[in-house]
Chain A
Amino acid sequence: MIEVERLTRRFGDFTAVDDLSFEVRPGEVLGFLGPNGAGKSTTMKMLTGFLPPTSGRVSLFGLDIARQPLAVKQRLGYLPEGAPAWSDMTVLGFLKFIADVRGLKGKNRSQRIMHAAALTGLEPVLKQNIGTLSKGFKRRVGLAQTLLHDPDVLILDEPTDGLDPNQKQQVRDLISQLAEDKIVIISTHILEEVSAVCSRAMIIAAGRKVADGTPAELEARSRYHQAVSVQFSEPVQAASVFAGLPGVMEVDEYDGGRGYRIFPEEKTSVFHAVNTAIETHHWPLDTLHIERGRLEDVFRQLTEGKS
């Protein structure tokens, strides 16, 4: 378990992380969301013991990172932003070095290296210099490095940045697979990723936590949550009818009367009312569905103007 208490980090006059507190339990995949410069990376740097906090405390399975940094670092796998690696080393040489530092020896060492390489699909490039690899492979080298010692906690700063859609999917599958018994913290600004892999999302803006919950809970905060979208096969004058239904707050019309989006008042559902109205008027219905809510909308609403 990771406990973060009132974590604060200032750079001169600038406060990058401001009084952040949270806990993460094994099995959780926590996604840090936030605009660039919100303090995601700085928080991760403090969680991994790279940066000392200005104030506040981080502990991992009861070990304080400021007091027992080595014990904490042994249980951590960390992918820093940009997946840095020594470009003049071969992939295998690099993984061997990390394995040596991690104290892996003999047969176990080579097994762990091959296992990590297999998980990240690095086998074809093991003998290549890291400097000659594509961005996607470099990122996977960084990922493989974090897995070598089978850590309890994975902290991954933008793990899918620079990958193509197939690779992104592979990495997400890998994370979900690893997450079973580990704590995984990832940062991202790709919102679909949060819904895809995270069991919990935390939105950070200007160094502060502005939202924390499951992706579904966050989506529910969107104004699109429970909104009903209607598509007709030909234009229909339905705006006034929809607006007159009970519980409707607002109606958007688009596509010249072919499409409508009906926003309900909070905690009410207008689906049936809309459905009945359409049937009684015999409008040519194409599709009708309830929106889950849009993370993007919540994200913008919470972070805009804050950093």
Chain B
Amino acid sequence: MSGLLTVCKREWSAYFSTPVAYVFVLIFLMMSAALTFYLGNFYDRGQADLQPFFNFHPWLYLFFMPAIAMGLWSQERQLGTIELLLTLPLTQAQVVSGKFLAAWLFAALALVLTFPLWLTVNYLGDPDNGVILTSYLGSWLMAGAFIAVGCCMSALSRNQIVAFILTVLICFVLMLSGFPMVLDMFRAWGSDRVVDFVAGLSFITHFQALSRGVVDLRDVLYFLLLITVWLFATGEVLSIKKAR
């Protein structure tokens, strides 16, 4: 455990050793606010809730989370520090999860910093703060899934840009299966069970369930399982690359 936290701590401070992290958080906050107020018709809806804010999260994450994760492994490979890291008395699992955790906490920080929006709706009206809390939880879990995919792609390529693009592609596919148009396509020839199964694969389906204020264990497990699987895949990719 301590090895994991040591790795996490180093990775966390690495985010803040350059101005990139600050710029990144700033852009994230500006984008999320802009989307909420302009595209989300925050005021016109006449409802004091954060639904328009959370609705855009999958789209925001599609580009922001791969950016957080793209350097995690490809940079180590480029610097050669991967050799240092993996010859220290740490297990591969400790390093993989420590790095992931740092990125996930960074996403949490960005998310927490959106609190002025929460203050705003509480000032404007009387929102259901329970729903807002589960939405935040769902959003953070979804961010974890994006980052876990990003970890794996970063382990795959020494080029950060390639890792970024691959992550966006895979995450897009994982989101896609929850879209009405894709589901309609399946509905045309498949039974309801097929449609449910396909929808069940998507980030969006599970995120929406959580952001309605219902904490269904299955939705939480979906994201946790997805994170585990992708982190496991990260470890496998690292091993395979060494064995070849």
A97 within 8 A of partner (CB) = yes
A48 interface hit (Cβ, 8 Å): yes
Q: For residue B225, which residues in chain A have a CB less than 8 angstroms away from its CB? A: none
Q: How large is the interface on A (under 10, 10 to 19, 20 to 34, 35 or more residues)?
A: 20 to 34
Which residues of the other chain, A, contact B45 by a CB distance below 8 angstroms? none
Residue of A nearest to B75 (CB): A86
Q: How far is the CA of A100 from the CA of B7 in the complex (A)?
A: 9
Please determine whether A97 and B89 come into contact, CB atoms closer than 8 angstroms.
no
Report chain B residues within 8 Å CB of A51: 242
Within 8 Å of chain B (Cβ to Cβ): is A98? yes
A85 vs B75: C-alpha distance in the bound complex, in angstroms?
A: 11
Q: Give Cα A74 to B89, complex, Å.
A: 6
Complex-state Cα separation, A97 to B95, whole angstroms: 13
Residue in contact with B89 in the complex, picked from A73, A85, A87, A93, CB distance below 8 Å: A73
Q: B244 — which chain A residues lie within 8 A by C-beta?
A: 11-12
Within 8 Å CB of A52, what residues of B?
242-243
Would A97 and B91 count as touching, CB distance under 8 A?
no
Query: Within 8 Å of chain A (Cβ to Cβ): is B14?
Result: yes
Docked-complex contact B84 and A84, CB < 8 angstroms:
yes
Q: Are A100 and B6 in contact (CB under 8 A)?
A: yes
Inter-chain contacts of A84 with B (CB < 8 A) = 79-81, 83-84
Report if B88 contacts A (CB, 8 A): yes
Instruction: Determine whether the beta carbon of B81 is less than 8 Å from that of A76.
Output: no
Contacts of B87 in A (CB 8 A): 48-50, 73, 76, 78, 80
Give chain A residues whose Cβ lies under 8 Å from the Cβ of B212.
none
B84 / chain A contacts, CB cutoff of 8 Å? 78, 80, 84-85, 145
A45→B242 CA distance, assembly (Å): 10
Q: At the interface, yes or no: B182 with Cβ under 8 Å from chain A?
A: no
Please, how many angstroms separate the alpha-carbon atoms of A103 and B88 in the complex?
11
Q: How far is the CB of A143 from chain B (nearest CB, A)?
A: 13
Chain A residue at minimal CB-CB distance from B242: A51
Is A82 located at the chain interface by the 8 A CB criterion? Answer: yes
Which residues on the B side are within 8 Å of A93 (C-beta)?
13
Residues of A within 8 A of B242 (CB): 50-52
Which residues does chain A contribute within 8 Å of B9, judged by CB atoms? Answer: 97, 100
Contact residue among A45, A70, A88, A145 (Cβ-Cβ distance under 8 Å from B18): A88
Q: Which residues of A contact B (CB under 8 A)?
A: 11-12, 45, 48-52, 70, 73-74, 76, 78, 80-82, 84-89, 93, 97-98, 100-103, 145
8 A-B contacts (beta carbon < 8 Å): A11-B244, A45-B83, A52-B243, A70-B89, A80-B84, A82-B80, A85-B84, A102-B89
**Which 4 interchain pairs have the tightest Cβ spacing?**
A84-B80, A88-B17, A80-B83, A73-B89
